Copies of this chain bind each other. A is one copy, B any other.
Amino acid sequence: MENMVRLPDDETLAKLSEFYKVFGDYTRVKLLCQLRQGEMCVQDIADSIGMTQSAVSHQLRILKGMALVAGRRDGKTVFYSLADDHIAGILDMGLEHINE
């Protein structure tokens, strides 16, 4: 009874790695940290992290697909924010680790 955790099945492992892969990119993690400070529209995100609108939009699509961010349309502009508090928690665990 010293360890009850079984090796997850292949599908779960695949999903898990896909999930972490999203955090494993400089641009996306910067984007997530930026959104952590509050919702922002695409162009403002692009300006604040120094990327083109297109690149940001492509990445937001990935983040949205993985349910890490949510979009809210208001007229012409779409405001993005972190999907839930969980995400901020995961960013924190990572930051903790790299600070020893």
Contact = CB atoms under 8 A, between A and B. Distances in A.
Contacts of A90: 90, 93-94, 97
Classify the interface of chain A: helix, strand, loop or mixed: helix
Chain copies in complex = 2
Contact of A22 (B24, B89, B93): B24
Given A3-B37, A24-B21, A15 B86 contact: no
Interface string A16-32: 11111111111011100
5 contacts: A20-B20, A20-B94, A21-B21, A22-B24, A86-B97
Interface of A: 3, 5, 7-8, 12-26, 28-30, 33-34, 36-38, 86, 89-91, 93-98
